[in-house]
Amino acid sequence: MRTSSIIPDLSRLKIDGFFTLTIVVLIIVLRPYIIRMRFLLAFFGKHSANIYLTHTFLNAYWPTAIWLHNNLSGFVKFVVLFTTSLLLSICIECFKEKFKYNKMIDRLLSLIEY
């Protein structure tokens, strides 16, 4: 059974070592830029789970608002979905701080543990 995918099937190619070497060299070359982007990466890392869950929700239950215009490019759709998911993630984190969600979870876990 063949599945359609954006990423081509590279399993038949015998150039895994080349890809690994390329990734290692890119990381070494781009390391100074990655260090400068530490704040941005930490910010997105904090929100990554919420972004993943909200983008799945938005894509499943809110398709008409994002995908209504079929003439939009894929990049524009990505930016709209990512921005909306990020804004929802920031709102979720604000609610979690306001209602002290993490403290409630810690108390619940301490009750569950023996």
- Token digits for 103? 């403290």
Residue 16 domain-assigned? no
- 87 within a domain of the structure (yes/no): yes
Domain-embedded: residue 50: yes
pLDDT digits (tens, 9 = 90+) for 2-48: 555 565 665 565 666 777 888 888 888 888 877 778 888 889 999 99
Give the number of domains in the chain.
1
Q: Which domain does 85 fall in, by range?
A: 40-112
For residue 85, count other CB atoms closer than 10 A to its CB. 21
Is the pLDDT assigned to residue 76 strictly greater than 90?
Answer: no
pLDDT at 60: 79
Give the separation between CA 94 and CA 88, rounded to whole angstroms: 10
Note whether residue 14 is domain-resident: no
Nearest partner of 52 among 102, 100, 98, 92, judged by Cα: 92
What's the pTM value of the predicted model, to 2 decimals?
0.61
What's the CA gap between 84 and 96, in Å, rounded? Answer: 18
pLDDT tens readout for residues 77-102: 788 888 999 999 999 999 999 999 98
